[in-house]
A and B are shown apart, each in its own frame.
Chain A
């Protein structure tokens, strides 16, 4: 019971902070899940996140997969509810207000001002993920190639995930 409550609270605090999607809360998710609570190690964290990226749907569902790993189906339910419910209630409550303000002049600067914050956090996620995933020379090569591929081309990132998985077999 206490474990489930801890999961609910940990992911609940992330919910309202997810500006710009799952990637921006990844450093905090890592801090809570690996460092504060010790629910999993670095390698497991990065693998579960990668699985959620490879699957369809909102990336924020990385939280659900981690919840399952910590405490099974109930853990998944708690992590998902924690991650989604606070934000959903707020978004619903704000609809009347935002409907009136739609197209208002403050919206663009507000959107624009949060983007650099989100980009900085996403960059932080990338570095933390690379620290967790970079265990040998081959993985650093995969990280480098994948970075350049996603940055410089317009192909779906799924190709790099598939390519990374195939190259990973060289580790056998």
Chain B
């Protein structure tokens, strides 16, 4: 019995509101373990396609899941569900920021949170880079992306310029490794 669009919407609403620190792990938990709508393999494939397509991958994956069960309306149900809850919450947060963001107490706290968020992004990059164990050509692509980002090169040129090299390097690594990087 495939889920109805209403169930899709409500499930993604729940995913959106509970997914602290990244959607994918929560979506997998919900769709595979709690609802049992997708097998582990099906979720991994849908996520993989969502990551290859351009655009936010949480959105792409939600659309993939929605289309699978409910076509265009299913995709709409999942996408709206995913964003409705956090959007409402963030509207409240943004309004509070505009009203109270300049108070010394709030400013001090936010300065600390912003510093922690910077470290969080740096730590994530290091963690991902180490886990990747890149071959030399793949490493070169990563370093080039970092350098261009720091030089404030416009992102369209960075992505279009480096993606072919990344794909070629990955294809090469797979050939060398017989299907495993």
Contacts and interface: CB of A to CB of B under 8 A. Distances in A.
A52 to B, nearest CB: 7
Nearest to A101: B49
Counting contact residues on chain A (CB < 8 A from B), the size range is: 35 or more
Interface in A38-55: 43-44, 46-55
B109 A165 contact: yes
Interface stretch (B1-9, B32-40, B132-140): B132-140
B142 A87 contact: no
A65 B90 CA distance: 6
B178 interface: no
Nearest to B82: A58
Interface in A79-128: 80, 83-84, 86-88, 90-92, 94-95, 98-99, 102-103, 107-128
B133 to A, nearest CB: 11
Nearest to B143: A120
A169 interface: yes
Interface of A: 13-23, 25-28, 31, 35, 43-44, 46-61, 64-65, 68-69, 73, 76, 80, 83-84, 86-88, 90-92, 94-95, 98-99, 102-103, 107-130, 132-135, 138-140, 142-151, 156-158, 160-161, 163-172
12 contacts: A58-B86, A68-B98, A76-B87, A112-B181, A119-B128, A120-B145, A123-B142, A127-B149, A130-B122, A134-B115, A151-B126, A164-B116
Interface of B: 16-23, 45, 48-60, 63-64, 67-68, 72, 75, 79, 82-83, 85-87, 89-91, 93-95, 97-98, 101, 104-105, 108-130, 132, 134, 138-139, 141-150, 152, 154-156, 158-159, 162-163, 166-171, 173-174, 179, 181
Given A18-B57, A116-B132, A156-B20, 4 more contacts: A19-B51, A87-B59, A134-B118, A164-B114
